[in-house]
Structure 1
Amino acid sequence: MASLSNGIESWVLMALIHKDIDDFDYKNALTLSERLFAIDKDSQDFRFLYAKCQYLLGDYNAAYDVLKDTTSIPCRNLFARSCLELGNLSDKTDKSIFYWRSGIQTLQEALADSSKKKTSHKWGDDLTCVALRSHMPSQSSIRNLLGELYIKMDNMRASSQQLLECLAENPFKFTAYTDACDIAPDAGHPDSVLSPNAIFKEFDIETTQLDHSFKYHLPPMPSTSTSKSTTSTPIITQHDKKPRLEYLMPMIRSSYGDVSLNQLRALVRSSIQTHPAIIDDGHLFDLFRDAIEKSKDEILDLMTADIEKQKAEEAFKNKHGLHKKPPAEIMHGMTMDQKDDNDDKMDTESEVVDPMSNSPPRLDSANKRPSLGKTTTGTTTTELTSKAAKEATDQTIIGAMNKIIRISLIIAKGYYYQAHYYCRETALELQKLDNSQYDTPSVLCLMGRAYYDAGDHAGARIFYRRSFSIAPWYCKGVPLYSTCLWYLEKERELSLLAKVMKDNHSHRYEAYIAAGNWTKCSNRGNEAARWFQKAVDLDPSRSYGHALLGYEDWEKGNCLGAKQHFAQCMITNKRSYFGWYGSATAYQGMHEFPQARRLIEEAIRLHPRHPVLLGTMAEILLSMKEYELANKYVERSLAIRDNISIQELKKKIDRRLELGDTGESL
């Protein structure tokens, strides 16, 4: 079992987290702080740093939940700030007052504790803070951010290159690895490039530089010299290659002065010189895009044109009375009526693993692991020379870094397997973590996602449920968790989830998805679509809300509306198999089988082991009378997971093969 102790490893992790915070890489800082928090959940220092990362990311509900019942002054201070922000976000006056009063009470307690040991203010503590921070962002942080921006530009090859170079320099940038895995299908490089063993390698004292830089990047000291202002405006000549800003844009004062022709010419020349990308016809950002990405662009362009054509046809029919408009649906109110507290209890039916137990769910109940012993630093520094003492210290630090790397390697392998949709391999790899690291929300949600992508909603529910029970502030898995509960018709558990999420103002998107799935499970008319639409309106950059809206229209037989939502899902995230699969089903419902086949092929390329995708391909091929190929897909689907509907499809294909391609009806 891989484990971390509360010692030098904690110190190394805290240093890495603070460096990420200095570089504004809050997402990676949060990932590392969860590993730190897992070491000792009772540590006020670890809890504070974990909550601080949540706060910096704007997740005030998480910071509030993590810091409840803490007693240290830094924790109380941050808790009060979270109360302030939650009170501002609350849409109910009494709730706002509750948060603000909680903040006031906790700060009064903090002041009472600090006044017991009050001394005169030590200004040296404040004035030395600048020298103790790192003001120069590392190249790994810059490359990590550059990779994220390239993803936004839909340039996966360039993004992957930057993310891999980031990891080569700093393997602790775990979010760079997860992003690289997510875009791997479109990055155009072999899987071996992302092998966790090649990236998360242990450090060697001979090749690892633990020395400080000779030169620190600090803000400049203020100059005591006074600069004299001038009232005359210098003339800019053609030889001035880099005109100063004040010459390019005169300041607006009470009386606006005339702008000379030379100044206008210099402004134009400077604009052209400093912004070459504007006149580059877009080739700068399109230089490395692969054929896969361009092929997807073509499919989406064709799909968009088809949708516009069909919309025009529908409008023509409505205008000339060729068909009647559907009657307006009666909408229920948008309030989330909840059951009584007695009805909100979790289901008590027996399960293979109890997610509410004290131990995290595992494949094997045996959680025994050999003791790794305490970290030793060898002999004391007083018995060694200064050089030997430094080597001993360096060796201790390297050992701590390697322990962290071993933990990262296990989680990275789990993420790598999940990104390639190997559920069993993901689960087995994550079993190597000790209980403290395994029983964390990110690991449990990773397990849940693996089971969800395998089509096992019951298995996914167990892990998502455990994650939410131990960390209700971690809401990344809530959309899929609520969808699993809808599939399994767990209305009471889904009602409780929606009720808890209703008060989480930092995760409105996830709350709307949970509310939509709950109203859908309780058969409340068209209210589910209203909640999903609110989620999309709140954050249109996330693809899952668009996919859910597409499924809503598809279930109602509105194939055109479904195509529009699924197309938006694909545009938002071209690597989401939800959008490609949903679009294929919409075209299939309109008997446009060649287009449906092309879309489902891309969905299967992204997720080649999903039984539903393979079964849908078999259905489309059956409609296109390609019976032998359809039989191969249906057999692959049944080999992964047995299903009654797929078995019936298999019988239809077998009968067609027996009859031959005669076109006779079944």
Structure 2
Amino acid sequence: MAPTSSAISGLLKQTIYYHLDNISYQNALFFAERLHAHDQRSPESAYLLALSHLRLGDLRSAYEISKSSGCRGAHLGCSFVFAQSCLDLDRYKDGIAALEKARPLWATKCSIGKHTTSGRSPYPDAAAVNCLLGKLYRGYDDKKRAVSCFEDALRANPFMWDAFTILCDMGVNVMVPNIFKLNDNFSRSFDHEPDATNPDSGGGPVDPLQRKTGIQGAGHDSDPFGGHRSTAFQDVSSNNMLFVDPGENDNSSRPVASHSRFGSNRHGTDSMETPTGSVPVPEAQAPRAAFPSEPPLAPSRRTRGAQAAEPAFLDAPPKMSYRLGARKREKAQDPMGDNSTEPPARGAALSQAITERKRTASGHPVQPRPNNSEEPRRSARLNVAPRTTSRANTTVNATGATATRELKKARPPISRIGRPGSSGATVGRVVSGNRKPLEENIMDVDEVPRAKESSAALALPPRQTESEQIKTEEGLRWILDFLKKIASGYRLSSQFQCQEALTAFSSLPRAHQDTPWVLARMAKAHYELANYADAERFFKRLRILAPTRLEDMEVYSTVLWQLRKTTDLSFLAHELIEMDWESPQAWCVMGNAFSLDSDHEQALQCFKRAIHLDPKFAYAYTLQGHEHVENEEYDKALVSYRRSIAADKRHYNAYYGIGKVYEKLGSYDKALSHYHAALVIHPTHAVLICCLGTVLHRQKQIVQALPYFVKAVELAPRAPEMRSKKAGALLATGQLEEAKRELMILRDVAPNNAQVHFLLAKLAKTLGDKRTAASGEIKNEIGGLEEDEGLDDSMMQ
């Protein structure tokens, strides 16, 4: 008999998923090609083939294979793989259109909590698709829709961490407590396993009453943002609310209003709300689903009778315990008996079928006992003297020893498990007249505790389910509370509130503080604060824990550049290049090493190599611009800075670089505008604030420049360049005592700084101290100092 096509396809799909789960992507691709050749019309085969190519990094093949079904929105898996390929290939519009057309296939799906060691959901749910859709909108430069998609992803699943981090990187002020809080629908998603027969079903059918309850709850506890769209998100860069005022968050209990999507009306799909949790589980299924690994409950009496009527037992040798069948018949005839679960008619029929199979030791069928209405009930017979003597003697006379021995040889041993109605050691085979006179009584009495045990077994799983649900809820609450802390630190660092971010990260458990991700964030926070020694200490610890980590190493190289540690920087560059020749971070580190040695041409070649490896590497463009400035190639520097902004609109270093170029060219208005743009992104950067004051000072607006210098000194009290700018402005405005106080501090901070001695000489001349003034003038003539010397560019590497 030839196998069916569906059977072959099913086996190939299992093989493909097996290799995908075991990271055998080449094997998965091989069998995916076999499946696609076997069933070319199925979008499922195209999805698995495209997914295998995507896992192998072959983006263009994944794009072409999934294009047919993905563009039409006919298959969710194809649309998702197609959109992911579009994201990596910068074809954002095609990916957006594909996911929008497939919206009816994913808008109501939620599979969080269904991925276990024994099951999973093969297709993405609403949270995953919304996150991918947000990335596509972000690449398409549609910030408003991108924020909306990321918000929907976090509503459905607060564990969608990359949606949160991207929102922070986009400059959106995220209300962390509103996102990472437990709600009923989200916690309910972890209460059951996915349907084994349909891994994409999301947990099986839903009872209408239970669905109604879930809908009612969505307006109260299910919405992690308090029932309003975008109450947890605020645009920091524009200082305007994108949607609703967060002050209304706690007082609203209305369901989330639907909103339009790009292209939704065009494709004929209505806008709909993203669910905030999984579909509610029917109460009847909850205990069983919560304990998939627990043994089944003890079967009832009716189940045992049904097992006895199975055809598998018809071929078994006859059994001698005919009284068990008689008792079952009596129980079936008595509808008021204990544990009666069937109508009398059906119970009598089952008892008759069981009795007809009973045979005596000689092989003759047992005649059914007449239905005597005066027969006492089982509960009444518990206290009645047994009538077994005459029956036992009759049995002995009818069978004989020879027949009994032959039957014992012919009949194989039957286990207690396979024997329906067996009750352990109290029920045994009787082949002689030595039957114990109290056997029937013992069997009847034994039924009572077994009935109690069955009732206890039925009552136990709900208690266990409640306990497991409590444990799950407590675990989710702990994780969400932890995410609040680490998310608060990330949000603060993304807004360049570095000191507050360090405090938030320091509140994490010690074990989590000593992880590469947290160490990198803390090191970068110290770098933004210009605490280069502390930043180096954190980066060294990071290198010990994760010596193969390449991410953020370009920032570490800048820290070493600021500290002028040539040997350490060269060693780091060679180590990273040997580790990964194709790493853009490694080439940035190498470029910084050449820059520190004043080899600007070699540095430019290294940064060019890094850009070639990653065309979206904003920091590499910025470092390249700095090197062009050192070579006084201002036009090339402007091109590099603008490409950096195109790659990352919040890369404030590039805005600073453009401002510095225009300042050198004498275009002070353009310089001010770009410094201000950088300051909007990083409002507490002392160098940027000082640059604004410097440009105003150059325009002879000294009074307006002085507050900027004061603020810069408050943020960086040990930076000599900023304090000297403040002292010069105080001196120019005639505030001599304040200027002298600043210069005394500056002389202690930077005793070898020539600018300090020049200002001291000028102050002494103003005060009439000719000797000190002459000494200062001599130093001025020797050093060629200028009063309006610009700020050191190295502060903004």
Give the TM-score normalised by structure 1: 0.53
Give the match's secondary structure for 1:475. Answer: coil
Q: Provide Cα deviations, 1:120-178, integer angstroms capped at 9, x if missing partner.
A: xxxxxxxxx99933112011111111111122112222211211221111111111111
User: What is the match of residue 175 of structure 2?
Assistant: 195
User: What is the match of residue 321 of structure 2?
Assistant: none
Matches within 5 A, 1:189-338: 191=173, 194-203=174-183, 208-209=188-189, 210-212=191-193
Q: Provide Cα deviations, 1:386-425, integer angstroms capped at 9, x if missing partner.
A: 2221111121122222222222222101101111212222
- CA gap of 1:130–1:463, structure 2 versus 1, over 3 A, is closer
Q: Does 1:177 align with 2:164?
A: yes
Displacement after TM superposition at 1:602 (Å): 0.7
Between Structure 1 and Structure 2, how many residues are aligned?
A: 383
Contact 1:447 1:463 in 2 (8 A): yes
Q: Does 1:385 align with 2:460?
A: yes
Mapped to 1, the partners of 2:593 and 2:478 lie a distance apart of: 43
RMSD: 3.5
User: What is the match of residue 140 of structure 1?
Assistant: 127
Give the match's secondary structure for 1:557. Answer: coil
User: What is the match of residue 408 of structure 2?
Assistant: none
- CA gap of 1:446–1:506, structure 2 versus 1, over 3 A, is farther
User: What is the match of residue 646 of structure 2?
Assistant: 571
Letter of the 1:135 counterpart: P
User: What is the match of residue 748 of structure 2?
Assistant: none
Q: Does 1:628 align with 2:686?
A: no
Displacement after TM superposition at 1:567 (Å): 1.1
Matches within 5 A, 1:406-555: 406-505=481-580, 508-524=583-599, 526-555=601-630
User: What is the match of residue 596 of structure 1?
Assistant: 671
Q: Give the counterpart of 1:158 among 131, 138, 145.
A: 145
Mapped to 2, the partners of 1:206 and 1:559 lie a distance apart of: 55
Mapped to 2, the partners of 1:132 and 1:199 lie a distance apart of: 28
Mapped to 1, the partners of 2:689 and 2:564 lie a distance apart of: 25
Mapped to 2, the partners of 1:206 and 1:501 lie a distance apart of: 43
- CA gap of 1:57–1:631, structure 2 versus 1, over 3 A, is farther
Mapped to 2, the partners of 1:507 and 1:410 lie a distance apart of: 35
Displacement after TM superposition at 1:646 (Å): 1.1
Contact 1:135 1:217 in 2 (8 A): no
Mapped to 1, the partners of 2:237 and 2:170 lie a distance apart of: 12
Q: Provide Cα deviations, 1:3-54, integer angstroms capped at 9, x if missing partner.
A: xxxxxxxxxxxxxxx9xx99x9xxxxxxxxxxxxxxxxxxxxxxxxxxxxxx
Letter of the 1:208 counterpart: R
Mapped to 2, the partners of 1:407 and 1:635 lie a distance apart of: 39
Mapped to 1, the partners of 2:187 and 2:117 lie a distance apart of: 30
Displacement after TM superposition at 1:494 (Å): 1.5
User: What is the match of residue 645 of structure 1?
Assistant: 721
- CA gap of 1:473–1:538, structure 2 versus 1, over 3 A, is same
Task: Name stretches of at least 5 consecutive residues in structure 1 with no aligned partner.
Answer: 1-17, 25-54, 59-128, 221-289, 294-376, 660-664
Mapped to 2, the partners of 1:569 and 1:471 lie a distance apart of: 28
Mapped to 2, the partners of 1:551 and 1:633 lie a distance apart of: 24
Matches within 5 A, 1:6-85: none
| Bigger RCO of structures 1 and 2 (CA < 8 A, at least 6 apart) | 1
Mapped to 2, the partners of 1:206 and 1:466 lie a distance apart of: 37
Mapped to 1, the partners of 2:633 and 2:516 lie a distance apart of: 38
Displacement after TM superposition at 1:543 (Å): 0.5
Mapped to 1, the partners of 2:578 and 2:198 lie a distance apart of: 44
Identical counterparts, % of pairs: 24
Displacement after TM superposition at 1:206 (Å): 10
Mapped to 2, the partners of 1:292 and 1:445 lie a distance apart of: 25
Displacement after TM superposition at 1:217 (Å): 5.7
Contact 2:679 2:688 in 1 (8 A): yes
Q: Provide Cα deviations, 1:202-245, integer angstroms capped at 9, x if missing partner.
A: 4559963423566976599xxxxxxxxxxxxxxxxxxxxxxxxx
Q: Does 1:654 align with 2:730?
A: yes
Mapped to 2, the partners of 1:469 and 1:403 lie a distance apart of: 29
Mapped to 1, the partners of 2:237 and 2:589 lie a distance apart of: 34
Contact 1:174 1:408 in 2 (8 A): no
Contact 1:611 1:638 in 2 (8 A): yes
- CA gap of 1:207–1:135, structure 2 versus 1, over 3 A, is closer
Letter of the 1:417 counterpart: L
Task: Name stretches of at least 5 consecutive residues in structure 2 with no aligned partner.
Answer: 1-16, 24-53, 58-115, 202-234, 239-290, 296-455, 736-786, 789-797
Mapped to 2, the partners of 1:650 and 1:206 lie a distance apart of: 55
Matches within 5 A, 1:364-403: 385-403=460-478
Give the match's secondary structure for 2:684. Answer: coil
Letter of the 2:724 counterpart: E
- CA gap of 1:291–1:442, structure 2 versus 1, over 3 A, is closer
- CA gap of 1:451–1:594, structure 2 versus 1, over 3 A, is same
Mapped to 2, the partners of 1:601 and 1:175 lie a distance apart of: 30
Contact 1:427 1:447 in 2 (8 A): yes
Displacement after TM superposition at 1:455 (Å): 2.1
- CA gap of 1:506–1:559, structure 2 versus 1, over 3 A, is closer
Mapped to 2, the partners of 1:291 and 1:207 lie a distance apart of: 32
Mapped to 1, the partners of 2:169 and 2:236 lie a distance apart of: 18
User: What is the match of residue 95 of structure 1?
Assistant: none
Give the match's secondary structure for 2:579. Answer: coil
Structure having the higher Rg: 2
Give the match's secondary structure for 1:503. Answer: helix
Q: Provide Cα deviations, 1:440-464, integer angstroms capped at 9, x if missing partner.
A: 1110001011111222222211112
Contact 1:136 1:217 in 2 (8 A): no
Mapped to 2, the partners of 1:57 and 1:560 lie a distance apart of: 41
Contact 1:134 1:217 in 2 (8 A): no
Displacement after TM superposition at 1:571 (Å): 1.4
The runs of 4+ residues in structure 1 deviating greater than 6 Å are 55-58, 290-293, 380-383
User: What is the match of residue 284 of structure 2?
Assistant: none
Give the TM-score normalised by structure 2: 0.45
Give the match's secondary structure for 2:141. Answer: coil
Q: Provide Cα deviations, 1:286-333, integer angstroms capped at 9, x if missing partner.
A: xxxx9989xxxxxxxxxxxxxxxxxxxxxxxxxxxxxxxxxxxxxxxx
Letter of the 2:726 counterpart: K
Q: Give the counterpart of 2:685 among 610, 618, 622.
A: 610
Mapped to 2, the partners of 1:639 and 1:539 lie a distance apart of: 38
